[in-house]
Structure 1
Amino acid sequence: MGVRSAEKGSEELPSLATVSLDMRMDKGVRILSFIVLPLLPAGAATFPLVVGNGPDGLGTLGLTIFSVLFLAGLVLTIVGLRDALYERVVIKNGVIRHTSTFTNRTLRFDEIRGYRRTDMYLYLEPRNADLKRVKVHKYYQYSDFFEALLSRYFPDLDVLEPDNQLETTLDSSGRGLDEKSREALLRRAKITSYLLNGSGIAVGAAGLFIRQYYEVIMWALVLLPLICLLTVIRYKGLIRMNSYEKSRYPSILYAYFIPVPVIGLRVVWDYNVIQFKEGWYIAGLWGFMVAILLMTGTDEFSKKTATDYMLLSVMALFSAAYMLAASLFVNCYYDHSQLEKYAPVVIDKRIGKGKYTSYHLTLEPWGPLTSPEEVNVGSSLYQATEVGDSVHVEKGVGLLGMPWYQLPQN
């Protein structure tokens, strides 16, 4: 369909009926979807190779998680590719209809209360609470024209309503405070979020690039997400895990998320965990607890919409990943048991050339490992070792019962 805009001089709502649009995903985005989306199940398929060390492999729980990840990636790929081909928003005769794999929503223009925007979407909010809002991707064809149309004929709710929403949250966070004290509370919340986000960036960089003060840096990484969680609950939604564009709510997104991959990388670099079935249990329980705390302890997810539940699921998964990484650090670093000594023979060696140079030795089967195992080592140990040499391996039982080993670098 073509595009016919309303007459420039008219400001009455019925003139919207002259607009005719058929918006589909932009061609470039569709091509990118067909390149990127198949990587989801392919990435999940590497899960056993990443974590399946030792004779116990993944274990029952690990295999279950792998199966869920693979199937979820496969489903997301199929749905995403189908939507790339067929999802669309059609505007005709004063009606907007959004159709996709799981969506078929319609709103008349006179049923629209206003719109909100994020970096990726435009949301059309209905006047009637019984109706569902319509979501329009910003990477649709004609999306710029459609956004200009909305800004001309409908109120921007992100501009009109954030103050009201914020006042409601301030009522919950600062009951009994006068206006001056409430403004001070908001300023304190913003300063707190700036400090936490800055700390997240700082300790994340320290964890990646500083070798000294290992224990201090690791504990800073471990404790920061816990401090963020307590802060969000303490401020009862005034400080949020994330906030949409133009929102006045301070967010601690960086402080909560940056430490997680850094802890994981340090654990992978420093230790080789043979099996961590217990870690999956701890991680799963923690992820569930975080989701419950965020849902009941703050008003950030109080609307109980599909988006809320999706964000809660992401928070739960990320929190589970955090607890798994933190548990592995505690398990290995604070394992003061008598280490078992082994001297396996190196059967292969290689240098990984990517964004960063990595050094790998492949060891013959030893102790609990019944097949050859490739391990990361430092450059000095790599240079000092040849194929056929024996290397020293120290194996611990793990403070939390997850056996691990390391190769002393000296």
Structure 2
Amino acid sequence: MQQTYNYTRGFRILFLCLLAPFALMVPFIIFFLVTMPVDGTYYVLATALLPCMALVLFGWDDLFSVVTADNYGIRYKSPLFDRELLWQDIKGFRWGKNELILAPGVSGKRRIKVSAFRKGYATLANSLTTRYQNLNVLEAEMAMNAIKTLNGDINRRMKMARYSMWTLNTLAIGVPISTMVAGGAGSWLMVLLMLVPIVTFMLMEYHKGLIVLTGNKEEIRPGAIIAIIVPQIWLFLYTSPLHIVDHTKMWLPVIMAAMALTAWLAYSSRHQQLAMKSAKWLALLFCAVHFCVGSYGSLVYFNAVLDKNKPEIYEATIINKRISRGKSTSYLLKLQPWGPEKDEKEISVGEATYNALEENDKLEMSLYKGAFDIPWYKPPRLANSRFLF
């Protein structure tokens, strides 16, 4: 007898309300990309467009999907996807966040997720979890077996691995906070932050499986994801006040650095055993995206810090000014074309600078050559700015 599992009506209404803002963002982003000049903001919007479109497309697709189960297997059908697993093809299950994930044990099959917000979920989940093995528990057992094969005092080595990752995770979170408190005087800490992921890779290799890239709630080994991801995000945010005139020279070194870091991470994490190898590849892909972000920030940082050239001074006329209020407040000035900028452009400045200037005032802009011949400039900011630039 076939059973059907659909989302409840209340969940569909709630999900559509949450999805609507992202759906509205897509045409607005496309409009701005078509009408605005190519600059740093353009690339940020272009980067945000694809995730927004993917979220709307796949969210809408899943919302109107149907899960059915009968005597032969389970099937997930949506406007875009049609997946089926026979009962004998299922290797086991995982608990996700408000969902049950069924993993295939044969090649060519895709996993099926059953959301807790579907009607009849509790009955189906209870039936499947008593029939199949929990892959999270299986991975924990595999980890214990791998640990037992290591030489030396296992308890001492595990304690050392945990202490090492605690130190690196503390640095990954503490250094960004320190740079905000210290302001420009703490800019050298960014070099320390860049070393955190590299030291993490070395420790993953040294401890041979005692430090894991990704884990689950049953995992007893320390994870490395915080020490890897947080520095990449902060490197990008820290250098965000800088404006790059031409990004052409940046893409190749950024992509090469990201690929090198991803390859190093893949090699260092080879000792981690997972019941489903796809989980590791997804984690590596997630890290690779952040390596691109961090590599961009690192290149911008060194291009500015190592730049010993005297800047060219330009004057830019303020067309208008406005304040953008959201999760944070931004003070924006719109400038007429000047120097390398051939189109009108809006820049963010400090509150004191914003209050001191009016429309038609002249703003002094410093254009730097860049240590790697990548021209950059910075708008005037508060003297006590929390950022280096």
- Name the TM-score class by shorter chain: 0.7 to 0.9
1:52 pairs with 2:41: no
Instruction: Give CA-to-partner distance per residue, 1:240-291, whole Å, 9 cap, x none.
Output: 232223222321222222222322222123x222122222211211222233
> Quick one: which of 254, 260, 266 aligns to 2:232?
260
Q: CA deviation at 1:404?
A: 0.8
Q: After TM superposition, list the pairs within 5 Å mapping 1:190-339 onto structure 2.
A: 190-269=162-241, 271-299=242-270, 300=272, 305-339=277-311
Name the SS of the counterpart of 2:316 in structure 1. coil
> Quick one: which of 135, 155, 173 aligns to 2:112?
135
Which residue of structure 1 lines up, in the alignment, with residue 6 of structure 2?
24
Q: After TM superposition, list the pairs within 5 Å mapping 1:11-160 onto structure 2.
A: 21-27=3-9, 30-31=12-13, 32=15, 34-35=19-20, 38=23, 41=26, 45=30, 52-53=38-39, 66=46, 70=49, 74=53, 77-86=56-65, 88-93=66-71, 95-100=73-78, 101-108=80-87, 112=90, 114-125=92-103, 129=106, 132=109, 134-141=111-118, 142-160=120-138
Change (3 A) 1:280 1:339: same
Instruction: Return the alpha-carbon distance in structure 2 between the equivalents of residues 51 and 150 of structure 1.
Output: 55
Change (3 A) 1:307 1:298: closer
Which residue of structure 1 lines up, in the alignment, with residue 352 of structure 2?
380
The range that moved more, 399-408 or 305-314, is 305-314
Q: After TM superposition, list the pairs within 5 Å mapping 1:353-392 onto structure 2.
A: 353-392=325-364
Q: CA deviation at 1:330?
A: 1.2
CA RMSD of aligned residues (A): 3.5
Instruction: Give CA-to-partner distance per residue, 1:205-230, whole Å, 9 cap, x none.
Output: 33445425331332233332333333
Q: CA deviation at 1:320?
A: 0.8
Q: Could you tell me the percent identity over the aligned residues?
A: 22
Conservation of the 8 A alpha-carbon contact between 2:205 and 2:268: yes
Which residue of structure 1 lines up, in the alignment, with residue 158 of structure 2?
186
TM-score in terms of structure 1 length: 0.77
Q: CA deviation at 1:49?
A: 8.9
Conservation of the 8 A alpha-carbon contact between 1:107 and 1:134: no
Instruction: Return the alpha-carbon distance in structure 1 between the equivalents of residues 340 and 262 of structure 2.
Output: 37
Q: CA deviation at 1:337?
A: 0.8
> Quick one: which of 360, 370, 373 aligns to 1:401?
373
In structure 1, runs of 5+ residues without a counterpart are: 1-17
Q: CA deviation at 1:36?
A: 5.9
Instruction: Return the alpha-carbon distance in structure 1 between the equivalents of residues 273 and 257 of structure 2.
Output: 18
Conservation of the 8 A alpha-carbon contact between 2:307 and 2:371: yes
Conservation of the 8 A alpha-carbon contact between 2:147 and 2:154: no
TM-score in terms of structure 2 length: 0.81
Q: CA deviation at 1:42?
A: 5.5
Instruction: Return the alpha-carbon distance in structure 1 between the equivalents of residues 197 and 335 of structure 2.
Output: 37
In structure 2, runs of 5+ residues without a counterpart are: 384-389
Which residue of structure 2 lines up, in the alignment, with residue 348 of structure 1?
320
Change (3 A) 1:160 1:51: farther
The range that moved more, 251-260 or 138-147, is 138-147
Instruction: Return the alpha-carbon distance in structure 1 between the equivalents of residues 75 and 39 of structure 2.
Output: 50
Change (3 A) 1:214 1:322: same
Change (3 A) 1:218 1:375: same
Change (3 A) 1:245 1:138: farther
Q: CA deviation at 1:302?
A: 7.5
Which residue of structure 1 lines up, in the alignment, with residue 387 of structure 2?
none
Conservation of the 8 A alpha-carbon contact between 1:40 and 1:77: no
Instruction: Return the alpha-carbon distance in structure 2 between the equivalents of residues 295 and 303 of structure 1.
Output: 17
Size of the alignment, in residue pairs?
A: 375
Conservation of the 8 A alpha-carbon contact between 1:207 and 1:262: no
Instruction: Give CA-to-partner distance per residue, 1:366-393, whole Å, 9 cap, x none.
Output: 1111122222212222222222222222
